[in-house]
Amino acid sequence: MYSASAEVSRPFLIGGAMKKDYRIITNNPLVREKLGQDHDVEFYDCSYEDVLKKVKEEVCKGYKLLTHPLSGSVKPNETPYKSVMVSRKSGETDLMGIEIIERAIASVSKFQFKSDKYAPQVYEDFRLIDYTLISSALPSADAW
């Protein structure tokens, strides 16, 4: 089970003028930089897996999982960055969300850890890809 530890920074919360119905939990500095102004972005300086564990903790508290925690092709442990959207209000237990996040955490171990082996430019590219993936969910999330 995930628990806050010394490596995890306090959430970096920037509230925009218009509050959305969702929060973005991320370890991606680019997401904080690009979306932090207008969205609730909770930034943690932690690993990919720990982002998923943090999300699981939130979903277990009754927040709804809004985006799928796995990327479409970039593998866990290949990229160090992950951003996941959850609801701002808690409610009934999101059983499907719990199932999805648990399966996502289980899948992390299948991939060799190599997130610490890249040249600096590659990290920038991973940040960009994670940012575009979470951004692709914004029009749908904002439609509610």
CA nearest neighbour of 85 among 62, 104, 59, 108: 59
**Looking at 48, 79, 80, 81, which residue binds other proteins (CB under 8 A)?**
79
Single out the segment in contact with other proteins by CB under 8 A; choices: 24-32, 40-48, 50-58, 107-115. 107-115
Contact by Cβ (8 Å): 132, 35: no
Give the three-class secondary structure for 5: coil
| Distance (Å) of CA 20 to CA 8, 90, 108, 129, 136 | 25, 14, 30, 23, 16
Q: Shortest distance, CB of residue 121 to other proteins, whole angstroms?
A: 5
Q: Which lies closer to other proteins via its Cβ, residue 8 or residue 141?
A: 141
Bridge-based pairing state of the strands 22-26 and 83-90? antiparallel
Cβ neighbours around 131 below 10 Å, total: 21
Q: Which is nearer to other proteins, 33 or 124 (CB)?
A: 124
Among 2, 43, 44, 126, binds other proteins (CB under 8 A): 126
Member of 5, 6, 72, 89 binding other proteins (CB under 8 A): 72
Enumerate binding residues for other proteins (CB under 8 A).
Answer: 65-75, 78-79, 85, 97, 100, 103-104, 106-107, 109-112, 114, 117-119, 121-122, 124-126, 128-129, 132-137, 139-141
